[in-house]
Structure 1
Amino acid sequence: MKKLMGISFILLMTAGALAGCNTISGAGQDVEEGGQAVQDAAS
């Protein structure tokens, strides 16, 4: 039973880490696009 709980915990932590990476990546792209829009408007 403890082994199953340990494996479940590891899988949940891995899924959370991957979701977090995708979220940060998406936020970085949004900031980059916003900066590009400001740069285009300024020129």
Structure 2
Amino acid sequence: MKKFTAFLMLCGFIALTGCNTMKGAGQDIQRGGEKLENAADRNK
């Protein structure tokens, strides 16, 4: 039972870490898109 609990805790930790990583990647992609949009607006 202790091994199962430890396994569930490890899975939860990995899931939370993955969510933070995906959120950070999404923010980076959004900033890149904004810069592209700004560059396109300047070159009209």
Q: Tell me whether the two structures share a fold, i.e. TM-score over 0.5.
A: yes
Aligned residues: 41
What is the aligned partner in structure 2 of residue 19 from structure 1? Answer: 17
TM-score by length of 2: 0.88
* CA RMSD of superposed structures (Å): 0.5
State the 4+ residue runs in structure 1 displaced beyond 3 angstroms: none
What is the aligned partner in structure 2 of residue 31 from structure 1? Answer: 29
Question: Please, which runs of 5 or more residues in structure 2 have no aligned partner?
Answer: none
Identity %: 41
Question: Please, which runs of 5 or more residues in structure 1 have no aligned partner?
Answer: none
TM-score by length of 1: 0.90
